[in-house]
Amino acid sequence: MSKNKLTELAYRVTQLKETEPPFSYHGFDESTGIYKCVCCENPLFNSKTKYESGSGWPSFYEPHKSSSIETESDNSHGMIRTEVHCKDCGAHLGHVFEDGPLPSGLRYCINGVALRFERS
């Protein structure tokens, strides 16, 4: 992904696997729609699965489709986590944790700058 197609922060997050500061992204509202990859427009999460986790990052309890994302082990920063990235372009999105609400019990903790919201 070209640097000039993304903001500097979106580039660092999606391409260099950085993390935006918590509580820094406020580009979401309560509209119904789909959250897409900012790099390739792949549909990632449905607004119906978004919830307030208190973590400081947009959180979802399941992806739009299981085929929308991929995960892999992330042992950086002295932690063992599961990284989430876009299946179509490989952009780093965030991490998934096993402390979310039902029905999945998962919390997809996603960087807001990695997403583009499309109202339906």
Does 89 participate in catalysis according to the annotation?
Answer: no
Q: Which of 37, 39, 86, 109 is catalytic?
A: 109
CA distance 116 to 27: 9
CA distance 10 to 67: 23
- Among positive and negative, which fits the CA dihedral 7, 3, 45, 107? negative
Active site positions, annotated: 109
